[in-house]
Amino acid sequence: MTGVHAVTSARRSGRKLLDIYLNDHLAGATGAAELARRVAAARRGEEAGGVLLRFAADVSADRAALLGMMAALDVPVRAYKVYAAWIGEKAGRLKLNGRLLSRSPLSSLEELEIMRLGVEGKAAGWRTLQLVADTDPRLDRVRLTELIGRAESQLELLEGLRVRAAQALIGLGPAAGG
């Protein structure tokens, strides 16, 4: 293989891997948006309900931003991954948490931890796309910086809620609704 062919092959391989990577992030964003909406609805009457509702809206907006970037990069959406994530979030509700028909006291803490992990992954994805933006003008670096900042704010929000839920669960603070 000549040098030109090797470079072309490497670019094609990198492009294919980026397509897979972005579709994996889209699948994660789909599951995260579903989870965030469900958690916000479950805590609607609590102090944290309004905050979680805004968080859920931001998660959906972040998913839309990812779809826009995928379109700008001509990355096709792999619907089977999106559907699998959607189904996975629904199946995740059927966990052995000590309660069959109601939410476990562990539910809030576990959901907040899962969402926090998802936001960590999302921030890493935005940072990876910043690297792509260094050589691909189809991506907006300023927008990516904004998305990273929003992810960092989301991490702070979720960590505060997570700590309060953990404290309430083990009897060290106010009810888990805060």
Domain ranges of the chain: 20-169
**Which residues are within 8 A (CB) of 174 and not within 5 positions of it... i.e. 6 or more apart?**
164, 167, 168
Residues shown for the chain: 178
**Backbone torsions φ then ψ of 177, nearest 5 degrees:** -70, -20
**pLDDT tens string for the chain (178 positions)?**
566 555 455 566 778 999 999 999 999 999 999 999 999 998 898 888 999 999 999 999 999 999 999 999 999 998 767 666 666 665 565 555 555 556 677 888 999 999 999 999 999 999 999 999 999 999 999 999 999 999 999 999 999 999 999 999 988 765 544 4
CATH architecture of 20-169: Up-down Bundle (1.20)
Q: Residue 99, Cα to own-chain centre: how many angstroms? A: 27
Helix 141-169 / helix 49-72 crossing angle, nearest 10 deg:
150
- Cβ-in-10-Å burial (0-12, 13-18, 19+) of 10 comes to exposed
